[in-house]
Structure 1
Amino acid sequence: MADTVQFYMEEMIPELRDLEQKGIFSKKEIQSIIKKREKFEYALKRRISKKADYLRYIEYEMNLEALRKKRRARMVSNTKQSISDYAGQRRIYFIYKRCLTKFKGDISIWLQYINYAKKTGASRTLGKIFAQAIQLHPTNEKMWILAAAWEWEENANIVAARVLLQRALRLNTTTESLWHEYFRLELVYIAKILARRQVLGIDVSEEEIEENLLEDREVDTDNMIKLPSITGEEFSALDQDEKGVLGKKLSKKGKKEKKKAPLTEEKAEAFKTEKNPVLRGEVAMVVYRNGIKSIPNSFSFRKGFLDIANSFIRPKPLNDDSIQYIYDSINADFKDLPEARALVARRAIDAYKVDEEGYVKGVGETVKAFWQLCDDNDPRMWKLFVENMEAEYQKTEEENLKLYFSKTIDRIFSSADKKNIHSEDLCLLQINWILSSSTLSVENVNKKALTILDQAIAKYPASRALVLQQIRLLRTLSRSEQTARLPAIFAHALKTHTESLDIWREYISFIRTAYREDDMSKQQVEEAFLDAVRTTTALLPDVTEERAEVGQVKHSVSAWFLDWMNETEGIEGVRRVYQTLLKKSLPEPGFFMTCINLEKKNSINEEASRKAICMLYDKAIHADEKNEDIYLSFLKFLNETGQVEMANKVLWRAGKAAADSDAFSQRYREMLEGKWSEPSYLAAELDLDMEMDSQPNEEALSS
């Protein structure tokens, strides 16, 4: 190991000598660089080298190279480039190669390597990197897409980009993103050619220009190169007259140049856009047809093609027939899916941007198509109708169009009510629309929305969203109306939706506000908090991602309780609460960290606080022995308070519990150097400023 490190260090001598001779780094700085590099090299040659060591080495060399470039730029010198000008960059590449030899499967390192090569403009090296990365990770679509994008965007090589994506699709036939990117590539290629032809004036006839001028349309003739109007016959005649000059020129080598065939009308016609299969988008449509054969049952996959096609401004790379073909295939294959039928209904409106001339006509056709689809009385279709109209309402700035969309949405809800078409989603949409768009007073709007909510909850009593909306609206009413209705609603809601953080937040905010307004005594609030903590502590643990909210509920409810006790009784009240709870259950680690933070705010210099904090840290570690952040937080506290002996015991215990003791040791060193940031254990935000008789605006309610 030492021999290898020594070899690498000796290779640096010419570079370092050059840096010193040029005056870029001083002798003392050179010595510091040598020590740093030697330390990194030994770290890389350990029996089990770590990715972090390579990345730190690379980061150091990048910073060093950036510093060298800055100093070099400030120096007034006409000297030629020497070894020090390229050695730093070469070393970074070398470290990357060594790292990827060790960690071939780490995609993140490959991406960093690619980004660095792009940044430094190493085109030849980048090609080799892509080849190696793709060879090792042929099923990673991101690598193929990056390689194809580089060929097209940087090298302007459409053929190479196509070949890469075709190879990628042969290996990853069911990867949606690859099909989409290949489709996008073909459309971008067409769009660029069409834009260039438009600038050159190709495919624009004299008659079209004259018509535009007569119709007072603006034609940018200054930026358009007018091609000479010459027919194939005229060109042939010219060729016959000048054949002695044009047909028999000698090249510099003395060889006769091949006589060029005259441009006939048939050949000129073949170059026109409508006659060119590539420019008509036939290649892109082949991609689409093959894509839907490989992935036939995904609606989102089909929609992705349409989104790409509609994202281009004029001139559109796909003609109307091709776009219609995509819509027809979606309509045929997903005719029973409401989302697909809604997408087809939007055909007329998606063809234009909001500020384009045909947008208004497209709106009318789209609304007509949606009304026809709603004849089936499918609540899902009515919901999609409302969502699409609301989206267009938010998109447009024109007042008349806004009024039209508003009237249409009101008519949808009215018609659905007359036909007795209801659903939970439709009710929520109606409530949010009333709150956000009504011109009535806030009080009248809220009461109107509550009337609809009461009817909806009677039909859908298990709906969490409807109950939450009802609670929030009730909290805007008078104190008497709240105290009359909310306790019963909360009792039912918390029993039915025990795992809902939002409902618990509303409940805690309600009882704290009730205490502040003297509607509940301190004892009543404390009992309510204790019941809440007992209920949430009994919830099953959040072992899956779907149940992640349960952990937040457990931590937040107890943290809100402790925070309230700290406000009303101070640290003595907090201690009384957590000592009571510890006798009956073992709370989550977040609970202990909340207690620790409150104890620290009191005073870490008091003997009682220090003992309490150490006890709470010990309980937190017992609750989660693998949590390295708790160990580091404990060690930081012990070091700050000078409890060295206990810190050594905790450090030994942490080293035994850590999955990777070396990595933990590195984090511990960072903590000692002040580079480690302690994670936050704050509870979910609680709205404590809402007065019981407050009247929030419509925007706050609708959000």
Structure 2
Amino acid sequence: MAESVQYYLERMIPELEALEKKHIFSPVEIKSIIKKRTNFEYALQRRIKQKIDFLRSIEYEINLEDLRRKRVQRLGLQDALKGDHLQYSGARRIYNLFRRATTKFTGDISLWLQYIDYAKKNKANNILSGIFVQAIQFHPMNASLWIMTATWENEYNSNMAAARILLQRALRLMPQNQQLWHEYFRLELIYIEKIKLRRRVLGIEEEKGEDAMEVDNENDDDNTIKLPAVTGEDASKWKEDEGDDDEEKKKRTLDENDIAKLEESNNPILQGLLAKIIYDNAIDTIPSDIEFRKKFVDIYREFTNTETHIQHVYDTIRRDMRDVPAARGFLAARHLFIITKKEEGKKTQYISVNDPAFIPALKSCVEEFDEALKELNVSEMWEQYVKFLLNWFSLVSEANLKLYLCKLLQKTFKACKKANKMTMELYELWASFMIDIKEDKEDIERIVKQGLDVFPGSVKLWIKRAEFTSDGEEQLELYNRALEVNPDSLLLWTEYKDCLLAQSRKQVLDLEETEKLFFKACEKATLLLPSVLASSADRNYIKRMLQSSFVEWAAKTKGIDFARTVYKKIIKNFYPTYPFFMKCIEIENKYGNAETGPKFVEYLYDRTTRLEDDKEGTYISYLAYLYSQKKFQMANIVYNRACKELPNKDAFDIRVQKLKSTHTSPLTL
């Protein structure tokens, strides 16, 4: 180990001597640098190496290099250091540390990304090329790395061929990766757009308006290939040739035959043939995913003059997915989407509801939905149609148009019910819609009851039915019936809890009845599944919510003594969890008095330390409370008990010392 450390230290002697000689760093600072690097090298040469040691060393070297650059600039040594080894010695050391780290931890993708990011910031293109190659070799199935490399080749190296080859290789390895297909497709469209921009600058092709030369660059993400951001600068360069003589201009002038050959309409590549081929290959590989195809439409819309290509996507969806409700819904809704000139940073948008073209477009959508329902009369297709109408019903404000959509929705819901295609979601949407338009209460109740007869598991329908009941006892009865069918619904238990509290405030239920109902609810919730498994997270939360609400209700209605009786009963019968004890401590601090409160808080903390949840945090909180009450002897007892129970005593001691430093005490642990 010592030999390796000595080797690395000896390599930096010439650099440090030069830094001292040029007064960039003082002798004291040089000694500090040597000491720091020595400590870092010993950490890096340990038998079991840790990533954090490499990161600390890299962070130190980056900060040191930033300081060196600032001092060089302040001393005016930029010109004197040109070509000198000092100019790049710091960066070389950082790259060397990154190289050693990635060699040791080849599987850590975050380390590779930090390496790439540093090289990008320093515009080290030669080094960056090698980093990308190594990273892909170790992580060939990471699509983001392939996309990042292709983006870099296209944008910074201007090497479209290399970018294309990279994404083709990535697709051979991961043909089912949708992101790769989308970014390869985007890459080809960017390439075409860039050629078109150059042609306009050269005068080969005229375009109306200056906006046509601008291209959006909305996606600012390493996993997305960015659109080109050139044109204005190129245009200015090509306009700076006014001083050229006529003879040179004639040499650059193209005759009509050459221009005809270069016309965009005669060039299949510029017509988007490559992008179309990529799309066709993509849907052959991934044939049945409508969201995958919709993304191609979204990418097309980022570019100019792509209406015919978008139509090709629509045609393939219609050809391949006639029996897919989501696809038919997408095709039907397309009439309301138009491509407009660039306005306020957007090139594509939905037709405004105030636009005269909106109503004809909406009617076209409705007609296509009707046609789809005739060919594909399934529940999913009805859901697509209803959601489409509800969406636009919520957006429009013009009275006649809103009335039209309202009548159409009512007609659609009735037609769906007549066709016997109603689903639980459709019943829920129907009931919500009728409430929104303030339909007759009896009609709403009738629809809700019909929905519950068919789908008793619908929580939303049970809640709506209970909300329409004015009688308190009947409302509680409905919630009980609903909970029998949906015992693990968090939403339903929350509504039931709120109902209990409301009935208690209105004195529909007296204190004894409310207490019995809360106790029964806590009992049911405990029997659900008192587990910390992710699959039962809602059930655990139900139990905590009911128990905490029970205690808080008790404290608000009859005071802290009644609350203490309630939480002791819960602790005895219902196996409460850590958050419940914290809630009880909060209630004690809020409602308890200075004389009796501390005794019960200590009781609650003592019970909490018996749980396994955040044992160290509980003891720290307990000790903080005891210090605040100046019960230092009791704190010593709790501290000793914690040291026996906690696995990491050293870490606990550090936290205790920090805690003690905030409390003045005549005693020490």
Which band: TM-score by shorter chain? 0.7 to 0.9
2:332 matches 1:323 = no
- Counting only pairs closer than 5 Å after superposition, residues 221-300 of structure 1 correspond to structure 2 as 265=257, 267-300=258-291
Superposition pairs of residues 319-468 of structure 1, within 5 angstroms: 319-320=307-308, 322-352=309-339, 353-355=349-351, 361-375=360-374, 377-392=377-392, 405=405, 408-413=408-413, 415-416=415-416, 421-436=421-436, 438=437, 449-468=444-463
Give the residue type in structure 1 aligned to 2:524. Answer: T
Aligned residue runs from structure 1 range 495-514, under 5 A: 495-514=484-503
CA contact under 8 A between 1:635 and 1:651: conserved in structure 2?
no
- Contact 1:636 / 1:671 at 8 angstroms: preserved in 2? no
Distance 1:37 1:161, change over 3 A: same
Tell me the residue number matched to 2:227.
Answer: none
- Structure 1 residue 106: deviation in Å? 1.9
Contact 1:195–1:315 under 8 Å retained in 2: no
Once the two structures are overlaid, the 10-residue window that deviates more, 566-575 or 26-35, is 26-35
Aligned to 2:609, what secondary structure does the other structure show? helix
- Residue by residue over 1:124-162, the C-alpha shift from the partner in whole angstroms, topping out at 9 and shown as x without a partner, is 222222111110011111111111122223333322211
- 1:389–1:619 Cα change, 3 Å: same
What amino acid maps onto 1:386 in structure 2? V
Mapping for residues 28-39 of structure 1, pairs under 5 Å: 37-39=37-39
1:346 aligns to what SS in structure 2?
A: helix
1:180 aligns with 2:173: no
Q: In structure 2, list runs of 5 or more residues that go unmatched.
A: 210-231, 236-246, 340-348, 660-669
Query: Which of 160, 163, 170 in structure 1 is aligned with 2:162?
Result: 160
Q: Which amino acid aligns with 1:165?
A: L
Q: State the structure with bigger RCO (CA 8 A, min sep 6), 1 or 2.
A: 1
- Tell me: CA distance 1:607–1:421, structure 2 relative to 1, closer, same or farther (3 Å): closer
Does the CA contact (< 8 Å) of 2:620 and 2:655 recur in 1?
A: no
Write the distance in 1 (CA, Å) between the matches of 2:552 and 2:12: 60
Give the Cα–Cα distance (whole angstroms) in 2 for the partners of residues 567 and 34 of structure 1.
66
Tell me the amino acid that sits aligned with residue 387 of structure 2: E
Q: Deviations over 1:154-203 (max 9, x none)?
A: 33332221111000011111212111211122223333434554566645
CA 292–355 in structure 1, closer or farther in 2 if over 3 Å, else same: closer
Is 2:143 the partner of 1:141? Answer: yes
Residue by residue, what CA displacement relative to the aligned partner does 1:636-675 show, whole Å, maximum 9, x if unpaired? Answer: 54367353564365356432xxxxx6xx96798578669x
- Determine the structure 2 residue equivalent to 1:688: none
The question of whether the paired residues in 2 share the 8 Å contact of 1:604 and 1:610 is answered with no
- Give the counterpart letter for 1:344 in structure 2: L
* 1:97 positional shift: 2.6
- Give the whole-Å Cα distance in 2 for the aligned partners of 1:409 and 1:198: 50
Displacement of 1:279 after TM fit?
A: 1.7
> C-alpha displacement at 1:465, in angstroms?
2.7
Amino acid at match of 1:298: D
- Using the alignment, how far apart are the partners of 2:133 and 2:488 within structure 1? 50
* Equivalent position amino acid for 1:587 in 2: P
Which amino acid in 2 is paired with 1:538? L
Q: Name 1:314's counterpart in structure 2.
A: 304
What do residues 306-352 of structure 1 show as CA deviations (whole Å, max 9, x unaligned)? 3333x325332xx52x4333323323332222112212223433454
- For the Cα contact (< 8 Å) 1:152–1:158, is it kept in 2? yes
Shift of 1:571: 5.4
Q: Which whole-Å CA distance do the structure 1 matches of 2:404 and 2:656 have between them?
A: 61
Deviation string 1:381-425 (CA, Å, 9 cap, x unpaired) is: 222112223444566788886676555445433544566653222
Q: Which residue of 2 aligns with 1:658?
A: none
Whether the 8 Å CA contact 1:542–1:549 is kept in 2: the answer is no
Aligned in 2, Cα 1:337/1:24: closer, same or farther, shift over 3 Å? same
Over aligned residue pairs, what C-alpha RMSD do you find? 4.2
Name 2:477's counterpart in structure 1: 488
- Conserved 8 A contact 1:593-1:620: no
User: Is this contact kept in 2: 1:200–1:224, CA < 8 A?
Assistant: no
Secondary structure in structure 2 of the residue aligned to 1:182: helix
**How far apart are residue 31 of structure 1 and its match?**
6.3
CA apart distance, 1:498: 1.8
Provide the C-alpha distance between the structure 2 equivalents of 1:45 and 1:573, rounded to a whole number of angstroms: 64
Could you tell me how far apart the structure 2 residues matched to 1:383 and 1:669 are? Answer: 59
User: 2:585–2:601: 8 Å Cα contact kept in structure 1?
Assistant: no
Query: 1-10 vs 369-378, which deviates more?
Result: 1-10
Instruction: Specify the code of the residue in structure 2 equivalent to 1:118.
Output: K
| Partner of residue 680, structure 1 | none
Contact kept, 8 Å, 1:600 with 1:609, in 2: the verdict is no
Counterpart of 2:145, as a letter, is M
Change (3 A) 1:525 1:184: same
2:119 aligned to which of 117, 120, 124: 117
1:579 aligns with 2:568: yes
1:650 alignment counterpart: 642
Partner Cα separation in structure 2 for residue 645 and residue 186 of structure 1: 72
Correspondent of 1:533 among 522, 540, 551? 522
Distance 1:399 1:224 in 2: 52
Query: Using the alignment, how far apart are the partners of 1:33 and 1:616 within structure 2?
Result: 52
Between 276-285 and 544-553, report the one with greater CA deviation: 544-553
Does the 8 Å contact 1:201/1:224 carry over to 2? Answer: no
How do residues 669-680 of structure 1 correspond to structure 2 at under 5 angstroms? none
Find the aligned partners of 1:597 and 1:186 in 2 and give their Cα distance: 61
- Secondary structure at 1:538 match in 2: helix
Aligned-partner residue type, residue 373 of structure 1: A
Q: 1:457 to 1:161 in 2, by over 3 A?
A: same
In structure 2, distance between residues paired with 1:433 and 1:416:
15
Q: Is the 8 A contact 2:170 2:180 kept in 1?
A: yes
Mean Cα displacement is larger for which, 13-22 or 574-583?
13-22
Give how far 1:611 is off: 3.8
Aligned pair in 2 of structure 1 residues 299, 79: CA closer, same or farther (>3 Å)?
A: closer
Tell me how far apart the structure 2 counterparts of residues 665 and 359 of structure 1 sit (CA, whole Å).
70
If the length of structure 2 is used for normalisation, what is the TM-score? 0.76
2:523 alignment partner AA = R
**Is the contact made by 2:171 and 2:180 (CA closer than 8 Å) also made in structure 1?**
yes
- What do the CA deviations read for 1:226-264 (whole angstroms, capped 9, x no partner)? xxxxxxxxxxxxxxxx99x97xxxxxxxxxxxxx99856
Distance 1:361 1:421 in 2: 29
- Distance in structure 2 (CA, Å) of the matches to 1:667 and 1:132: 42
Change (3 A) 1:52 1:470: farther
CA distance in 1, matches of 2:656, 2:63: 23
Which residue number corresponds to residue 666 of structure 2? none
1:104 is displaced (CA, Å) by 1.5
